[in-house]
Amino acid sequence: MIAFEEYLKENLVLLDGAMGSLIYEKGVFIDKCYDELNLSRPELIRSIHEEYIRAGARVIETNTYGANRFKLKSHNLMEQIEEINLTGVSLARDAAEENAYVAGSMGPSGVELEPWGETTLEEVFEAYAQQAGIMERGGVDLYILETFQDIREMEQAIKAIRSVSDLPVVAMMTVGEDGKTRYGVDLEDITCRLVNSEATVIGLNCTVGPKPMLDFVEQMVRLSDKPISIMPNAGRPQFTDGRMIYMSTPEYFSVYTKRFIDKGVRVLGGCCGTTPEHISKMANALAMKQTRIQHSINIGVRPVTKEPLPDPVPAEEKSNLSRKLISGEQVVLVEMVPPKSTDITKPLEGARLLKESRVDAINIPDGPRASARMTGLALSVLLQNQVDIETVLHYTCRDRNLLGMQSDLLGASAMGIKNILAITGDPPMIGDYPQATAVFDIDAIGLVHLISNLNHGIDVGEKRIGDPTSFFTGVGLDPNSVNSDNEIHRLQLKKGAGAEYIITQPVFDVASLESFMEKVDAGDMFLIAGIWPLVSLRNAEFMKNEVPGVTVPDEVIARIARYETREDQLKAGIEIARSMVDKVLRFVDGIQVSAPFGRYALAVEVAQAILSKAK
pLDDT confidence of residue 237: 62
- Is 250 within a domain? yes
User: Residue 416 belongs to a domain with what CATH number?
Assistant: 3.20.20.220
- Residue 583 pLDDT more than 80? yes
- Is 224 within a domain? yes
Helix/strand/coil for 223: helix
- Is 205 within a domain? yes
CA–CA separation, 434 and 18 (whole Å) = 22
Q: Are 113 and 153 in contact (CB under 8 A)?
A: yes
- Residue 304 pLDDT more than 80? no
- The neighbour count for residue 218, using CB atoms within 10 Å, is 11
CA-CA distances (angstroms) from residue 216 to 153, 177, 196, 401? 21, 9, 19, 41
CA-CA distances (angstroms) from residue 511 to 443, 514, 534, 536? 29, 5, 19, 24
Q: What residues contact residue 583 under an 8 Å CB cut-off, 6+ apart?
A: 510
DSSP 8-state code for residue 598: G
Q: Binning pLDDT at 50, 70 and 90, where does residue 5 land?
A: very high
pLDDT confidence of residue 8: 93
pLDDT confidence of residue 235: 81
pLDDT confidence of residue 294: 37
- Residue 419 pLDDT more than 50? yes
- Is 164 within a domain? yes
- Residue 129 pLDDT more than 90? yes
- The neighbour count for residue 493, using CB atoms within 10 Å, is 18
pLDDT confidence of residue 240: 47
| Among 254, 289, 324, residue at a domain's last position | 289
Answer yes or no: do 276 and 321 share one domain.
no
Q: Where are the alpha helices (DSSP H) in 26-100?
A: 37-40, 42-55, 69-74, 81-96
- The neighbour count for residue 40, using CB atoms within 10 Å, is 11
Q: What is the mean pLDDT of residues 392-404?
A: 92
Q: Binning pLDDT at 50, 70 and 90, where does residue 296 land?
A: very low
Q: What is the mean pLDDT of residues 524-549?
A: 89
- Is 495 within a domain? yes
pLDDT confidence of residue 245: 60
Q: What residues contact residue 513 under an 8 Å CB cut-off, 6+ apart?
A: 479, 504, 507, 529, 584
Helix/strand/coil for 314: coil
CA–CA separation, 408 and 397 (whole Å) = 12
Q: What is the mean pLDDT of residues 522-540?
A: 94
Q: Which domain holds residue 353?
A: 315-534+589-614
Answer yes or no: do 282 and 337 share one domain.
no
Q: Binning pLDDT at 50, 70 and 90, where does residue 467 land?
A: very high
Number of residues that make up the chain: 615
Answer yes or no: do 196 and 323 share one domain.
no
CA–CA separation, 396 and 389 (whole Å) = 22
Bridge partners of residue 530, in order along the sequence: 506, 592
* Percent over 90 (pLDDT), the chain: 74
- Is 577 within a domain? no
- Residue 565 pLDDT more than 60? yes
- Residue 295 pLDDT more than 60? no
Smallest CA-to-CA distance from 406 within 320, 465, 484, 348 is with 465
Answer yes or no: do 76 and 160 share one domain.
yes
Strand order of the β-sheet with 267-268 is 13-14, 267-268, 228-231, 201-205, 169-173, 142-148, 101-106, 59-61
Helix/strand/coil for 280: helix
Q: What is the mean pLDDT of residues 280-305?
A: 61
Query: Are β-strands 237-240 and 243-246 bridged in parallel, bridged antiparallel, or unpaired?
Result: antiparallel
- Is 541 within a domain? no
Q: What is the mean pLDDT of residues 127-150?
A: 97
Residue 364: which H helix or E strand, with range? strand 361-364
Q: What is the mean pLDDT of residues 28-33?
A: 82
What's the mean pLDDT when you consider all of the chain? Answer: 91
pLDDT confidence of residue 297: 44
User: Residue 186 belongs to a domain with what CATH number?
Assistant: 3.20.20.330
- Residue 317 pLDDT more than 80? yes
Instruction: Show the CA angle centred on residue 393, arms to residues 349 and 494, nearest 5°.
Output: 150
CA 547 to chain centre: 11
pLDDT confidence of residue 291: 42
* Exposure letters 2-35 (e unless 16+ CB within 10 A, then b): eebeebbeebbbbbbbbbbbbbbeeebeeeebbb
Bridge partners of residue 475, in order along the sequence: 422, 502
Burial of 613 (0-12, 13-18, 19+ CB in 10 A): exposed
Q: What is the mean pLDDT of residues 211-228?
A: 94
Q: Binning pLDDT at 50, 70 and 90, where does residue 290 land?
A: low
pLDDT per residue as tens digits for the range 69-99: 999 999 999 999 999 999 999 999 999 999 9
pLDDT confidence of residue 306: 59
- Is 298 within a domain? no
How many domains are there within the chain?
Answer: 2
Q: Binning pLDDT at 50, 70 and 90, where does residue 260 land?
A: very high
CA-CA distances (angstroms) from residue 208 to 17, 153, 231, 237? 14, 21, 9, 10
- Give the distance between the most distant pair of CA atoms in the chain: 89
CA 43 to chain centre: 32
- Residue 523 pLDDT more than 90? yes
pLDDT confidence of residue 337: 95
Answer yes or no: do 422 and 374 share one domain.
yes
Answer yes or no: do 232 and 108 share one domain.
yes
